[in-house]
Structure 1
Amino acid sequence: MADARNPAIVLVDDEPDVLRAIARDVRRRYGDEYRVIRTGSGEEAVDTVRQLAERGDAVALVLSDQRMPGIGGVETLKRVQEHAPRAKRAMLTAYADTDAAIGAINDGRADYYLLKPWDPPEDALYPVLDDLLADWRAGYRPGYGGLRLVGDRWSAAGHRLRDFLSRNQIPYTFLDVERDESARQLAEGAELPLVITPEGERLEAPANADLASIVGLRQQPEREFYDLAIVGGGPAGLASAVYGASEGLKTVLVEREAPGGQAGTSSRIENYLGFPSGLSGADLARRGVSQARRFGVEILAPVEVEGVRVDGPYKILQTTNGEIACHALMLSTGVDWRKLPAEGAEALEGRGVYYGAAMTEAMGCTDEHVFVVGAGNSAGQAALHFADYAASVTMLVRGGSLAASMSQYLVDRIEAHERIEVCLRHEVTGCGGAEHLETITVQDRDSGASREIETHYLFVFIGARPQTDWLGGVVARDERGFVRTGPDLRPEDLDGWPLERDPFLLETSAPGVFVAGDVRHESVKRVASAVGEGSVAVAFVHQHLASL
């Protein structure tokens, strides 16, 4: 039986027979973990959700009919969002009403729609609801249990731990010593940040690896040798892992921070095929990790790869936790954001200056004036995301147009948003503050005039910097550090090539070492492209293994 404290699933339909039928099927599948609440109108549903929110009860999903007397399904989901913004919202509609449902998805008022009838529910209902509820669960933070992280919100070390826990999907409660008396009492005499486990164990200023051991993340390989080893757990690496393991290869994936890579920090990815309402980078990473583990992939994180050597047909990775040997090696390490070349920025990193979306900081941006530096899709999605919390968001763009580097659908949404301002031909030249960011200096690139602006939050999305120094001279790289493959390899890169065949399309200058995703020379910097390359590369891995 469902506990009265369980999250709620609210069902809405004005036809009693349909309402009973959908409630029966939903309760049969989810009744042990969720309360299933029936409502006979949009008005009743909105009132029910409001009462649940006022009591502090979690609402996981609202599933509403489209055509109803009074307020219809689209308006019901819109009003529900005001009281339970994190709840998933889906519409149950007849075929003739699909245009309205798709419009609701495009307007951000619904996450999905299902067609009537939904028989059999095992095929037409449960897969969709499973997906929506899994997404909701991934971000659900009940107010009890789990880790407690005690620290100062302006601490760089505290930000590092919060980011690590969030990106690895580990529930925790943050207690701010600046605002919470109980936090100050817990922190008395301790070096901050302080992590307290559910069992009461206290870790003072732990490293990510130490915290990973406590929460059960795997950092040691089960084997000494693998068919395929993958370095980097972004979309390309996860795709390679899924396709490699599903086709019978003994596969290990080594990730230095958290699966998902740079894409995993994205607040929203809206142009990825098959997700009409978009999904967050964290959702994409969670799905990829779950799929990879289902096929038996070993995921080691956080583990840093420090070097690699090639010994005949064998590739040996030197990691912070020992060596890993393999026949085929996939490099999918992606790229990092380039550091902001502004005076004072380095000293304030993690204390108001952040690289990437830094999703853990969103709630702290409430009523603040937030600045976003960059003009790509990631910067655009971040600006829209922070605008949900901040009083205002200003985008600082060095170039003369957003459209030059950003998808048009994002440009249109940004230009229409009342709380987002875009300053073209502007850049940050300085960051100031003692304990945390307090001001930035912004320069107009045309006039040369500068002004100092008060702010506590600056998010940077500029450039693409590969982390490939650890590869040494093992594979050929371009002048910026991106790895050359296949037809992009120059004659001088292949002076030591030992095989009669040419390198495969995604193969490096070292036989059996492959590259996929953003770290590849001249790659397309898109999630779908990275996933495609990661999966295609596995076909070449098989051809390489067959020749050994």
Structure 2
Amino acid sequence: MTPPGTRPTPVILVLGAEYRQAMVDVLTMRYSAEYEIVAPASMEEAIEVLTELKTGSRPVALAACEFFAGGEKATHLLAKFQKFMPTARRLVYVPVERFRGSVAQLRESLAEGRLDLYLMLPQGARDEEFHTAISETLSDWAQSVNYSEIDGTRIIADGPSPDLSRIRDFLDRMGLPNTVHAPDSPAGVAALAAAGPDAVMPLLQASNSDEIISNPSNADLGAVLYGRPTDIGEDAVCDLVVVGAGPAGLGAAVYAASEGLDTLVIDQGPIGGQAGTSSMIRNYLGFPRGISGMRLAQRARSQAVRFGARFLAGHQVTGLRIGEGPDGSHVVELGDDTVRGRTVLIATGVEYRRLGIDALEDLVGRGVNYGAAASTSREVKHKDVYVVGGGNSAGQAAVHLSRFARSVTILVRREGLAATMSSYLIREIEGNPRITVRPRTVVTDGGGEGRLEWLTLHDVDAGTDERVEAAGLYLLIGAAPMCSWLPNDVARDDLGFVLAGADTPWQSWQGGRPPEPFATTVPGIFVAGDIRCGSMKRVASASGEGAGVVPLVHAHLAPDAG
């Protein structure tokens, strides 16, 4: 019996025959302190165990099935059990003698999303590569279902709101454990008493702190970790100021700081940019099991900090004054505050276009979300949700939501997904019974009492409308460049994307030669990532562009530059 007020111990389920006990022994040695290892001996017992687990609300973190267990394909067994444990990660373990013959079959299952990973049975007691894969998979599960025993940052809120969604999304993406408490809960009553009569919810109480922050802004949230612009110092001049902490900005920060450049990274939101909202990126070099955008951003941030880079999270850049520092440096404006840099990298990326339907805009944070908003996925459990968009971000959001929602429908104006989405994601979506794609369909209306309850879908070809029940709408459409803060000196195309290298107007060329790649029309101002005109709009290319800017920064800072 689980004591009141505590979470039930998550389960690792082991299915198999010949090698089942060997797998149980391996997992018990490492994971039995935090997870209960359950290993039914037959299919009948497995069904009974799963029914009991579901009835008792005990979460299954990992389901491990032996290759060809019980004479059936392991992936087929896992597919049968999926309705009992939709959020569980699925593993096939393979004895060494069967490994070669299993690769082709398991590769297909991985590509279609029926399997999260497959591993060879450990060959010794300390097969750390095996345990690294297991630990990362369990960590990914815990993060996606918000399963944490840590009493981290407390949020006091009286119901869903745009501010609550913003705060939770910020904290989740920064990797800060957080829990929401009602105003009449013990934590809520104590926080409200400490905050005083003028407090405006949501309230925030950081872990190990008595300070209560009333409806914190992104700047307040970022200051908890990284401080404020005034901490940089009035007279400080950075070698490189990076505006935007997505893959391009983080790539630049790691390489610039590692080469001794005084580097400052600024972002109006949490570290990671738009890519940080991706639930799972499977085509990034060096991560065969995939990695969430949040974890990739956290690792890059830690790497940059290790080399000496500084960060300002939650602070919006509002302007750039070219060469107006006392020493000719560039002045980056953050509202009433400023920081200076000898060079500046524009890496602000793009933002999703607004849908422009007033009734739905009023429900943002109450079922309507711009971006993946992974923190809301648990709120749509066993409900119907809709994802608007045909890019990789939309596909990743749909796959993630399918672990929680009863159904996920992707709406695209085009004929299908092939023109805008990676093949691996399309195959995974096609193999997922909970996901449906509706081409040539747009959202025209929606509403609900206090939160989203319904949508009107318009069939572009037939000209007909359909009203559907909907608990969630996730909007991932288009790519509007985030560059309203840039002066006209920095040339942009008709859509607002920043021009660089040979794409710049010929009038800005020196000696008949264009600027270097990633160099803009202003000396010392560079651009990388999705905001650059002609970029690939992929995580790997953006991080590579950020790293590619660093040699240009060195050249500009060299004593004989210019």
TM-score range, shorter chain: 0.7 to 0.9
State the partner residue of 2:202. 193
- Are 1:419 and 2:425 counterparts? no
State the partner residue of 1:161. 167
> C-alpha deviations, 1:419-448, integer Å up to 9, x for none?
333332221222334533333332222333
Deviation larger for 321-330 or 64-73: 64-73
Deviation larger for 474-483 or 380-389: 380-389
> C-alpha deviations, 1:35-83, integer Å up to 9, x for none?
5988999779989999999999988778887587888976897799855
In structure 1, the gaps of 5 or more residues are: none
Among 231, 237, 245, the alignment partner of 1:225 is: 237
State the partner residue of 1:372. 387
SS at match of 1:469: coil
SS at match of 1:470: coil
State the partner residue of 2:5. none
CA distance in 2, matches of 1:84, 1:444: 31
State the partner residue of 2:332. 317
SS at match of 2:238: strand
- Are 1:261 and 2:273 counterparts? yes
SS at match of 2:155: strand
Deviation at 1:191, TM superposition (A): 2.9
Matched letter for residue 301 of structure 1: A
Q: 1:51 to 1:329 in 2, by over 3 A?
A: farther
- 2:9–2:36 contact (8 Å) kept in structure 1: no
CA distance in 2, matches of 1:326, 1:40: 59
Q: 1:96 to 1:413 in 2, by over 3 A?
A: closer
Matched letter for residue 160 of structure 1: R
SS at match of 1:535: helix
State the partner residue of 1:279. 291
How many residues matched? 533
State the partner residue of 1:298. 310
Deviation larger for 73-82 or 218-227: 73-82
Cα RMSD for the two superposed structures: 4.1
SS at match of 1:274: coil
SS at match of 1:394: strand
Q: How does 1:99-114 map to 2 (within 5 A)?
A: 99=103, 102=107, 105-106=110-111, 107-111=113-117, 113=119
State the partner residue of 1:338. 353
State the partner residue of 2:500. 485
Deviation at 1:387, TM superposition (A): 2.3
SS at match of 1:305: coil
> C-alpha deviations, 1:202-238, integer Å up to 9, x for none?
333222222333x433434556122222110111111
In structure 2, the gaps of 5 or more residues are: 1-7
- Are 1:462 and 2:483 counterparts? no
State the partner residue of 1:431. 446
Matched letter for residue 340 of structure 2: A
Matched letter for residue 393 of structure 1: V
CA distance in 1, matches of 2:292, 2:413: 27
State the partner residue of 1:243. 255
Q: 1:468 to 1:80 in 2, by over 3 A?
A: same
CA distance in 2, matches of 1:113, 1:383: 26
State the partner residue of 2:521. 509
Deviation at 1:511, TM superposition (A): 1.3
Matched letter for residue 269 of structure 2: E
CA distance in 1, matches of 2:272, 2:307: 18
- 2:329–2:341 contact (8 Å) kept in structure 1: yes
State the partner residue of 1:407. 422
Matched letter for residue 191 of structure 1: V
Deviation at 1:309, TM superposition (A): 2.1
State the partner residue of 2:557. 545
State the partner residue of 2:4. none
Deviation at 1:305, TM superposition (A): 1.5
CA distance in 1, matches of 2:227, 2:107: 41
CA distance in 2, matches of 1:16, 1:174: 40
CA distance in 1, matches of 2:54, 2:457: 42
- Are 1:145 and 2:151 counterparts? yes
- 2:155–2:202 contact (8 Å) kept in structure 1: yes
State the partner residue of 2:399. 384
Deviation at 1:526, TM superposition (A): 1.4
SS at match of 2:322: strand
Among 210, 231, 244, the alignment partner of 2:220 is: 210
- 2:14–2:24 contact (8 Å) kept in structure 1: no
> C-alpha deviations, 1:316-359, integer Å up to 9, x for none?
22224733222222111000000003242322222222111111
Deviation larger for 275-284 or 354-363: 275-284
Deviation at 1:137, TM superposition (A): 6.7
Deviation larger for 437-446 or 73-82: 73-82
Q: 1:70 to 1:401 in 2, by over 3 A?
A: closer
Calculate percent identity across the aligned residue pairs. 36
SS at match of 1:477: coil
SS at match of 2:398: helix
- 2:345–2:527 contact (8 Å) kept in structure 1: yes
Matched letter for residue 284 of structure 2: Y
State the partner residue of 2:364. 349
- 1:243–1:538 contact (8 Å) kept in structure 2: yes
SS at match of 1:285: helix
CA distance in 2, matches of 1:110, 1:157: 34
Q: 1:409 to 1:144 in 2, by over 3 A?
A: closer
Among 345, 354, 359, the alignment partner of 2:374 is: 359
- 2:203–2:215 contact (8 Å) kept in structure 1: yes
Q: 1:275 to 1:77 in 2, by over 3 A?
A: farther
TM-score by length of 2: 0.80
Matched letter for residue 262 of structure 1: Q
Deviation at 1:142, TM superposition (A): 2.5
